[in-house]
Amino acid sequence: MVYFCVHPKLGIPAPPPYADPTTTGPRIVGGVNYASAAAGILDETGQHYGYRYSLSQQVINFENTLSQLRTMMSGTNLTQYLSTSLAVMVFGSNDYINYYLLPSLYPSTVTYTPSAFANLLLNHYARQIQALYSVGLRKFFIAGIGPLGCIPNQLATGQALPGRCVDYVNQILGSFNEGLRSLVTIFNNGTTHPGAIFVYGNTYGIFGDILNNPAAYVRAKENHNYTKHKLTSLLIEEALFCAVLLSYMVSNFFHKV
């Protein structure tokens, strides 16, 4: 949702993917998309899917882009460019659905309690955000995790009552989201990161409210997803989210899209 809605609002085209060989030269000036399917904050997350760029590698990829930008503009202009750029960071979901909630593949649920795992993620996340701040970025939008217990991937486990989400999964996300919100507050105190602005996106609250109160947004209609669970598909009017086309709030197997 963030990716598809933000850039039209800003009047800019969608940034090209980092892995595209043509993402070089003038194409990078308008921004680059560093996202990598199945990847997460931890390097181990999603490794059963094969090659992907974890958050730490995405930061390295950004630094590679930065090296190109240094050849295209003066130091002063680059500093100004970075300080007015927006870093959109949406991490954490994959660390749960592609790592912590897969005890058959990873020992994480035995090694960490939910709160300890959240702290592990937050410590890694904070270090990478600090790395981006250190090279000049000053504007950050940092999204929390949405209600993962309501996505088809988790409903397919059979742990939810008919018509409900997997409550345990949603409950364990609280430690991460609350910790991330607190981290953003600390970053905004003006002492540790002077000149920077950090905004927390309450993804859980937004999607949770849409799922729990669909009538407050639009009409709802029942539909079936790939897991054969009856879910609600919501038609969202353009004025509410993206000022372009009418769209649906639906799920692929892993994410709200």
Strand ranges of the sheet holding 220-224, from the earlier edge strand across to the other edge? 220-224, 230-236, 247-249
Cα–Cα distance between 155 and 164 in angstroms, integer? 9
Distances (CA, A) of 155 to 49, 58, 254: 21, 30, 10
Say which residue, 224 or 72, is predicted with more confidence: 72
Cβ atoms 213, 203 nearer than 8 A: no
In a domain, 184, yes or no: yes
Domain that holds residue 87: 2-217
In a domain, 232, yes or no: no
Q: pLDDT confidence of 10, banded at 50, 70, 90?
A: low
In a domain, 172, yes or no: yes
* Signed CA dihedral, 151, 7, 34, 177: sign only: negative
Structure pTM?
Answer: 0.82
> How many domains is the chain built from?
1
Q: What are phi and psi of 247, to 5 degrees?
A: -140, 170
Cα–Cα distance between 117 and 106 in angstroms, integer? 13
Tokens of 96: 């749960």
In a domain, 20, yes or no: yes
Report the alpha-carbon angle 93-96-97, nearest 5. Answer: 85
The pLDDT tens digits of the residues spanning 126-168 come to 999 999 999 999 999 999 999 998 888 888 876 767 777 888 9
pLDDT at 230: 42
Distances (CA, A) of 151 to 111, 157, 243, 252: 25, 11, 26, 8
In a domain, 225, yes or no: no
Residue 255, pLDDT above cutoff 50: no
In a domain, 99, yes or no: yes
In a domain, 234, yes or no: no
The pLDDT tens digits of the residues spanning 56-102 come to 999 999 999 999 999 999 999 999 999 999 999 999 999 999 999 99
pLDDT at 12: 74
Q: pLDDT confidence of 3, banded at 50, 70, 90?
A: low
In a domain, 249, yes or no: no
Residue carrying structure tokens 């309450």: 202
Helix-strand-coil split of the chain, %, nearest 5 = 45, 15, 40
Distance of CA 218 to the CA centre of its chain: 25
Cα dihedral 19, 22, 25, 29 in deg (nearest 10): -60
